[in-house]
Structures are given as C-alpha cells and as structure tokens.
Amino acid sequence: MAREHSPFVDLDELLRKNQPRRELDSRGEPGSHHESDPREEPAARLVILVKHALPELDAAVPPREWRLGAEGEAQARRLASRLRTELPLQAAPLQLVSSPEPKAERTAEVVAGELGLSLAVRAGLEEFDRPALPLVPKAEHAALNAPIFAEPSRRVLGRESGADALARFERALSAAVADAPATHSVVAVSHGTVIALLVAAHNPIDGFELWKRLTCPSFVVLSWPRLALLQVVDRSE
C-alpha cells in the first residue's frame, strides 16, 4: 500500500541514503575478515521497472498502439547490455514481464533475446490511459502530464485518473512478483508515467520530477517488498 510522504527529498540524496551499508571493522574501516562470504549471502530480491525504448510517434493513433522503429530496436539492445552491467552484483535470477503495449512488449522481446530470458506479457502493466493527441514539443508534453501527478484523483487525460492508473499498475506488478519463483527478481518493462507514480507512492520524491528524468529507455531498481528506490539508470547510450 502506498504511503504518505511530506516533504519531498532530493532524488539523488534518497538514492545515497538507500544504498546498502557495509559494517565497519574494529579499526573503523569497511570490510574485514569477519565479513561473511558474499557467495553465502542470500540474493536480494528486487523489482526493476523499465521504461520502454523509443517508439515511432504517430499522432493518428493512441500512444498505446505505437511501435518501435529502427532507433528503438537499437536502444532496446543497448538497454539489455545496461541491465546486465548495472544491476547489483547480488541480484537474484531474473523473471521478465512486460506490458502488452507493442512498444513495451517489443522492448522486452529484445531484452529477453539478448539476456536469454523467457518473457510473460501481463495485463495491467500498461501506461496511463490517454487518447490520440497532436504531437507537441517536450515542454508542452510535460505541462499536459503535470496534472496527473498534481491532482491524482482527477481524470485529466483519458479514462483514468493518476490514482486509478497507480492502483491498476501496482496490482498487476504485485501479481507478477507473486507468480515469479521466490528466488527471482522481477524485471517489468512498462511506461514512464505509471513507473513514476508507483515510485513516488513508496518514496518521498516528486513523481513528476522522476517522470521527467526517465528517458526512453531507462529503469529504476526497487527493493522488494518495501519498494525503496535504490537506483535510477536514465542513460540509453
């Protein structure tokens, strides 16, 4: 269940705070021969929420129908490499799931192929519902999205409010984690707005600012089950 947070804290400050701490030895230095062997420690179970690669924009159809083009396909391959190198060393084996929207599902298919993972498509991981709209500059797009975070109980675009989208997304994510083997972390390829809504619901950050930071593609790493934000990787190169 989401928790109330006030006031917001700086995102980078929160990430530093949430990093695992290493115990100090008798000399006050990190690490010692008394530390347990990392190979003997249980893997930390994580939830990794991935924003899809860049789709081809088409004002004539709703965003939920957009598909990847050549650039998006290349980004998805780089994303797979980034996931391989950026996840904490003690991450558990991965279970990959995806939103059924074409841009997310195709991103996940590329990641699955590159990393040798199976893929399950899960209803409920879709983006905040919005209709086909004219393509607008980045700043105007941000202005359209801002009320979703500022007024989550009001339907400002499409058929659901920010609160509705969050509840639907969180139910689907929780079900995906419950269905995965208990030893596995879950990688869910989804969408920027619902990812930012979920992270902000469980961490004292401004969801709108996180949404603006998440590029195509990018991902956040959360602890499970607390959903504490551990890492934001918003570079696609």
Q: What is the DSSP string of 20-75?
A: PPPPB-TTS-B--TTSPPGGGSPPBPEEEEEEPPPBPP-TTS-GGG--B-HHHHHH
- What is the residue-level pLDDT of the chain in tens, covering all 237 positions? 454 455 676 767 776 777 765 443 444 444 433 344 434 445 678 999 999 999 999 988 889 999 999 999 999 999 999 998 887 544 679 999 999 999 999 999 999 999 999 999 999 999 998 887 788 888 998 998 999 999 999 998 888 999 999 999 999 999 999 999 999 999 999 999 999 999 999 999 999 999 999 999 999 999 999 999 999 998 644
* Structure confidence at residue 88 (pLDDT): 58
* Structure confidence at residue 33 (pLDDT): 37
* Structure confidence at residue 213 (pLDDT): 95
Burial class (CB in 10 A: 0-12, 13-18, 19+), 52: buried
- Show the tokens assigned to 7: 């006031």
Domains and their CATH numbers in the chain:
46-233 (3.40.50.1240)
